[in-house]
Amino acid sequence: MTQLTIDYASELVKIPDAREMIAEAHDICEAVPAVFEELSDDTIPVSVKHVVIDRIFPKGIRNFLKTLCDNNHFKLFEEIREEFNNQLKDPKELYSTAELVYVTPPTDEQLIQIRDFLGREFNNKEMKLEMKEDKSLKSGFIIRVGSKEYDWSEAGRIKQLEERLSKAVGASNSFSEDNIISILRTTIEEFELTAQDKEIGVASWVGDGIVSVDGIDHADYGEIVIFDCGVKGMVQDVRRDDIGVILFGRDTEIHEGSRVARTSKMAGVPVGEEFLGRVVDSLGAPLDGGPDIVTENYRPIEMPAPGIVDRKSVAVPMETGILSIDSMFPIGRGQRELIIGDRQTGKTSIAMDTILNQKGKDTICIYVAIGQKASTVAKLVGTLKAAGSMDYTIVVSASASDPAPLQYMAPYSGTAMAEYFMYQGKDVLIVYDDLSKHAVAYRAISLLLERSPGREAYPGDVFYLHSRLLERSARLSPEAGGGSITALPIIETQAGDVSAYIPTNVISITDGQIYLESHLFFSGQRPAVNVGLSVSRVGGAAQRKAMKKAAGSIRIDLAQYREMEVFTQFSSDLDDVTKKQLAHGRSLMELLKQPLGHPFSMAEQVIILVASTTYVFSEIPVEDIQSFRKSLLEHFHSEHGDIINELDSYLDLSDDLRHRIEDVTRDYKKEVYKTEETEPTEE
């Protein structure tokens, strides 16, 4: 060993957990030799090498590997690794025992070769060998280390050949001797004395972020593979002769003949408390210019939904702070409430107000932006920061400029992050904005993978795409963790068509929908909630007692107002009862208007609803209702804080408390409008 190699190894010893990371880097270089050759090539720019290192090597040793590349010393990597292992003191071996199964005992020379092999594979030449005789192997031997098995036996070769023949016979009824000879020749050429996780394939077709790979026979759906240029992909199609891979990066560096290596890892994302306050992509990499996020936790993006036994009924409110929703379509923790409407009708605004309203309520919020403009996401993050809401929020962004695979993966990555907190007993609110673009991205992937198109060219499993995502939202029982995920999926309709394919799919999956109407929005009714088509299938079960009592007949009053307004719009001669009912309905519609980014507390909503039953607002000009509401709430906060404290503490509305609110409202109205009332007497 040269002094240079010894110095590099000494620096490596100082890095925490360097042993595991160096072993992983060694496996990558061994599985994809082109990576080692590229990093050792002095003619390749250093910037290109840095990109490859950032993409495929463990974070902890990236700077060390970049230093080797900067000094053109990467070709010494294997020598440095060997010296590094020699310098480690009292290493704790992952595998300490190997089982050797044989027909005839191995010779001393064979034992030396076996120990050399174990030293290369597990960095432990002194591994204890447990000898076992098994005549059924016919000849040869098997080495078992942990869950890995290396089969050099005659019985293993015969079994492998039988599997090949049975697959070929099952695929074709006609089978000739030439086919058998071809299979035998291929089997002999491809037989490798390594574990199956070192399987290497070759790209046979590349285009539009999709790659067909030949030669990988054991890959699982959803498994991550690495190309020799460092780009990662996910197995999305498992066919008889090849696999279809979707890329998480650009396909400009991949061509026919590029080598592909399995990782035996399912697609997943890092998770943890470290992500709070950050903007990340679908793979968990930061997009906000901040430092790298270091966490030891990792979750697959695809996980089974909690079972019935692990779930608890939805009975705790997830208050949005929006009067029209909390009073008429209450959302509970663990519920899935769809927000649906045409573009530019305030769908994202409702989700944003709900996130802002969770401040100080010990709720984690995750906003998943799918196919949105990057400028829109940046503006949204700015709003959250200004309100101090980014401290408990994670933003997962797959913008319109990102490849379709990243847009497809984004909501599953966000759900994996949410599940980490849910199983720790915390409440999570997740917003999918929006699933229409998610379905479009999946449609693009499916068509490129040559899957059969169905209605509106969507694949047949597009319903399952969203159902397996939204079913993961639940309220868990205490035994299962006790947390919850509340989902607010967003769907964009075309010209108000709620009967289209994707809207009807998601409506049937969710527990209710908030339907936003364009003509209401443009007429100034914001939020533009259509009271007739909106519904919450959980209902009053997830509503505070105070809110339930205060809301009372508001939906009936609004329905009567809309019906009466249609019949009386051309009439000029109305009786006093009808006039009073119309005035009350107009005041309710005006009260349901709410400024953007100003959610109401539960106590404020109860006060507004109780005050509306006194018909105080209907006696005020419509244009003054919102200013009077604002000043009335300020009056309650400054002069009658005991009423607000009582509502916040007991969460119930007693008859006495209702009367007190009504009395304060009437007295305040008289005080505000006393000048108008006294003018006639002065004359």
Q: With CA atoms as reference, report the closest residue to 489 among 429, 432, 437.
A: 432
Pick the catalytic residue from 144, 468, 537, 658: 537
Cα–Cα distance between 425 and 477 in angstroms, integer? 9
- Show the tokens assigned to 510: 């969710």
Q: What is the Rg, in whole angstroms, of the alpha carbon atoms belonging to the chain? A: 33
HSE on the CB side for 40, CA within 13 Å?
10
Q: Are 381 and 455 in contact (CB under 8 A)?
A: no
The answer to whether residue 537 is catalytic is yes
- Which sign does the torsion angle of CA 536, 539, 545, 548 carry? positive
What is the secondary structure of 273-317 as a DSSP string? GGGTT-EE-TTS-B-SS-PPP--SEEEES--PPPPTTTB----SB
Question: What is the number of helices (H) and of strands (E) in the chain?
Answer: 25, 20
- Show the tokens assigned to 386: 């200004």
Q: Are 69 and 49 in contact (CB under 8 A)?
A: yes
What is the secondary structure of 615-681 as a DSSP string? TTGGGS-GGGHHHHHHHHHHHHHHH-HHHHHHHHHH----HHHHHHHHHHHHHHHHHHTHHHHHHHH
Q: Are 585 and 557 in contact (CB under 8 A)?
A: yes
Three-state SS for 229-275 is CCCEEEEEEECCCEEEEEECCCCCCCCCCCEEEEEEEECEEEECHHH
Instruction: Using DSSP, state whether 491 is helix, strand or coil.
Output: strand
Run of H or E residues at 367: strand 363-370
Q: Are 366 and 417 in contact (CB under 8 A)?
A: yes
Compute φ and ψ for 646, nearest 5 degrees: -65, -40
- Which sign does the torsion angle of CA 443, 534, 484, 418 carry? positive
Active site residues: 537
